[in-house]
Amino acid sequence: MKFELKDRDASGRIGKLYTPHGTITTPSLLPVINPNKIAVSPKEMKKQFDIEMVITNSYIISKHKGLKEKALDSGVHGLLDFNGPIMTDSGTFQSYIYGSINMEPLEIIKFQKEIGVDIGTILDVFGTPNQTKTEAEQGMKETIKRAKISVLYKGEMGIALPVQGSIYPELRFACAQQLSKLDADLFPIGGVVPLMENQRYTDLVKVILASKKGLDPGKPVHLFGAGHPLIFPLAVALGCDLFDSSAYIKYAQEDRLIFSNGTQHLKDLEELSCCCPICSSYHINELKKSEKIQRTKLIAEHNLYISMVEIKKIRNAIRVGKLWELVEQKASENPQLYNALSVLGKKEEQEYLEKHEPVYKKKAIFYTGPHTINRPQLYRMNQRLQQWYQLAHDTIIVFPESTKPYHVTYEQEITAIYRRNPNVDILINSSLGPVPIFLDEMYPFAQSEFPEFIDQATIKHNKQVFNHLTKGKKVLYWDGKKTLELLKQEKKGMTQLDMDIKRIQNVATMQFGRNTDKILFKGKKSLVKSKKTRKIRNVYCDDDHIVSMRASDGMFTLKLAGGIRLHAHVPFPRFRVVVQNDAVPFIKDGKSVFAKFVKGGDIQLRPYDECIIVDQQDQLLGVGRCLLTVDEMIAFSFGQAVKVREHISD
């Protein structure tokens, strides 16, 4: 089975999962089909709700004479009358519900293979949240033991190996690492239903993160038993790709309607506020008075519709870089979910999430509340401000927040300051935090919308960054002429050209690291600027085109001449993506770098970072933009890893 990454945001991804019965787009929802009692048929689901894949239970099929015979005779696809991909569970959940089941681990693998499922699941040991660590560890070890034997019998079938380990992050991590060494096609995160039933979302977040940290990044991850849309955006943002829902039918049987932020009982509703095909064609009284069987089917359809709309919303949010907004909005609708977001503010988790966070996005960052400042791209921004960036001078002049771009709003003041004295730094005290004036067009400083009044935690956070940045410096808050008078008149002021040079140096430092500006922009500099917007477009040094600046986010794209400079002056492996030697002719021919050809590279490279492409002898081949992290490039066997911009030809 193949899995390919197509788009990404946060640690979430849009992928293509290729199965023998068709390709599905992830994140995806797999409705649970009870083969004994099919309320909405998989065929209808596909036609009406764009459902691409379903999940059913191989244990239930194997224990029912009629179902078993039909499945063995016409395959699971014949049994469910569905020609799309089918995944099966193995009876693990039944053993959790009933205490134990009569089934051997290998017996259920062989049965799943015999009935032709696309992805079968091993019989793992369900770890419950109330287990002691010793009990959880025993269950986890048994799961790994069974996984090791089961993969030997998978044959052509895709196999899912669930991560267990109860609520103990170290066990989840260890289990994930062990399972990742095996020939698996999918990794479900198991044993989480009791956490979700009791809205223990903080524990759920810890479990997902610990599992993801240990898992092979090149394989899809399934959050087992997560069927309520409330949890979907957060789970996707943390890296889950698949969900399964029995909630749509279970709730329908109890006359409960799923909504994006919770569930409501039919009897508590006086109007149907939803615009799905069911709610728009039935009056609520009709629905209330309809026969039980019909009502269940109608509510199940509504539930499926709502769930699929949420999945599509998430995929759209990923495409435009708005997944964190969706996560935070959803959390504001449920206090337990809101609490769970606090986990993401912990340094350890921010470090992990930052690795997968794209370096720029199509859309601006919108503030939604106190959790916004914890987003990985803002964590990165502040880390780079404190570790890479350095204010050059001892005197800092601070301006209050204003209309963006700041350097245009404060143009007269800035010109007056720099004419008098070029040896000062200028900061804007913005709601996002301190913004050095020459970074004011760069992502995310310019591409962010924060309200005038922000929460106390963000104010405190911004103050810390400000204090760190200006430590030991003389800070002057702009007060018109008084401030100018305080500045010592220097002989030579700064011209517009100097300010442009400052801007390219500042942006290079924030984008590539300290001192990279000296490497990239050595020699006689000349700039091409847009006549209309006055923005910098291209940077030349000694007539070589080094970088271009993207108008949308003020970041650089690396040209070949820039790559040659970085390659010559920055030691291996920084900025490199190393491709195996037999892929070299393809790169020289202008093709993209595919993940299966990548041997290694710089683990500091982030998604959408600029990079240089080299062969195994560190010979430069070209420059481009990373679509994956280097760990992902190594893990994935399919899809593009680097989009090549310019290459060296023979």
Given the complex with Zn ion, which of 263 and 557 has the nearer CB atom?
Answer: 263
Spatial contact of 123 and 92, defined as CB atoms under 8 Å apart: yes
Q: How far, CA to CA in Å, does 20 sit from each of 77, 84, 116?
A: 12, 9, 10
Report the nearest approach of Zn ion to the CB of residue 320 (Å): 26
The number of residues in the chain equals 650
CA proximity to 447, closest of 550, 517, 374, 353: 550
Catalytic (active site) residue 89: yes
Report the nearest approach of Zn ion to the CB of residue 302 (Å): 4
299 binds Zn ion (CB under 5 A): no
Given the complex with Zn ion, which of 144 and 306 has the nearer CB atom?
Answer: 306
Given the complex with Zn ion, which of 157 and 274 has the nearer CB atom?
Answer: 274
Among residues 159, 276, 341, 417, the one that binds Zn ion under rule CB under 5 A: 276
Among residues 123, 247, 274, 341, the one that binds Zn ion under rule CB under 5 A: 274
8 binds Zn ion (CB under 5 A): no
Spatial contact of 624 and 642, defined as CB atoms under 8 Å apart: yes
Given the complex with Zn ion, which of 302 and 375 has the nearer CB atom?
Answer: 302
Site for Zn ion in 548-577 (CB under 5 A): none
Given the complex with Zn ion, which of 301 and 441 has the nearer CB atom?
Answer: 301
302 binds Zn ion (CB under 5 A): yes
Spatial contact of 208 and 235, defined as CB atoms under 8 Å apart: yes
Piece of the chain touching Zn ion by CB under 5 A; list 299-307, 319-327, 354-362, 534-542: 299-307
Report the nearest approach of Zn ion to the CB of residue 462 (Å): 43
184 binds Zn ion (CB under 5 A): no
Site for Zn ion in 195-254 (CB under 5 A): none
Report the nearest approach of Zn ion to the CB of residue 26 (Å): 25
Neighbouring CB atoms inside 10 A of 594's CB total 18
SS3 344: helix
Piece of the chain touching Zn ion by CB under 5 A; list 18-26, 238-246, 276-284, 598-606: 276-284
Q: Write down the catalytic residue from 9, 50, 73, 89.
A: 89
Piece of the chain touching Zn ion by CB under 5 A; list 71-79, 274-282, 472-480, 552-560: 274-282
Tokens 């090549």: give the residue.
644
Spatial contact of 593 and 583, defined as CB atoms under 8 Å apart: yes
DSSP string for 348-380: HHHHHHHHHS-S--SS-EE--STTGGGSHHHHH
Distance CA 607, CA 7 (A): 10
* Beta-sheet pairing, 620-626 with 54-57: unpaired
Sequence-distant (6+) residues with CB within 8 A of 554 are: 441, 442, 443, 446, 507, 535
Distance CA 592, CA 86 (A): 33
Report the nearest approach of Zn ion to the CB of residue 278 (Å): 5
Distance CA 611, CA 538 (A): 18
Starting at the edge strand that comes first in sequence, how are the strands of the sheet with 187-189 ordered? 158-160, 119-121, 86-89, 54-57, 28-33, 242-245, 221-223, 187-189
Q: Six-digit token pair at 192?
A: 């989480």
- What value, to the nearest 5°, has the Cα angle with vertex 278 and ends 275 and 282? 95
258 binds Zn ion (CB under 5 A): no
298 binds Zn ion (CB under 5 A): no
Report the nearest approach of Zn ion to the CB of residue 46 (Å): 19
304 binds Zn ion (CB under 5 A): no
Given the complex with Zn ion, which of 302 and 404 has the nearer CB atom?
Answer: 302
308 binds Zn ion (CB under 5 A): no
* Beta-sheet pairing, 448-449 with 365-366: parallel
256 binds Zn ion (CB under 5 A): no
In this structure, what DSSP letter does residue 404 have? S
Report the nearest approach of Zn ion to the CB of residue 54 (Å): 21
Given the complex with Zn ion, which of 300 and 484 has the nearer CB atom?
Answer: 300
Report the nearest approach of Zn ion to the CB of residue 256 (Å): 13
Given the complex with Zn ion, which of 246 and 264 has the nearer CB atom?
Answer: 264
In this structure, what DSSP letter does residue 163 have? B
Beta strands in 368-414, from DSSP E residues, in sequence order: 395-400
Piece of the chain touching Zn ion by CB under 5 A; list 57-65, 83-91, 272-280, 329-337: 272-280
Among residues 29, 247, 279, 598, the one that binds Zn ion under rule CB under 5 A: 279
Given the complex with Zn ion, which of 279 and 494 has the nearer CB atom?
Answer: 279
Spatial contact of 566 and 605, defined as CB atoms under 8 Å apart: no
Distance CA 168, CA 209 (A): 11
Report the nearest approach of Zn ion to the CB of residue 251 (Å): 13
Site for Zn ion in 490-509 (CB under 5 A): none
295 binds Zn ion (CB under 5 A): no
300 binds Zn ion (CB under 5 A): no
Give the distance from CA 150 to its chain's centroid: 31
Q: How big is the site for Zn ion, counted in residues (CB under 5 A)?
A: 4
40 binds Zn ion (CB under 5 A): no
Binding interface with Zn ion (CB under 5 A): 274, 276, 279, 302
Residues identified as active-site: 89
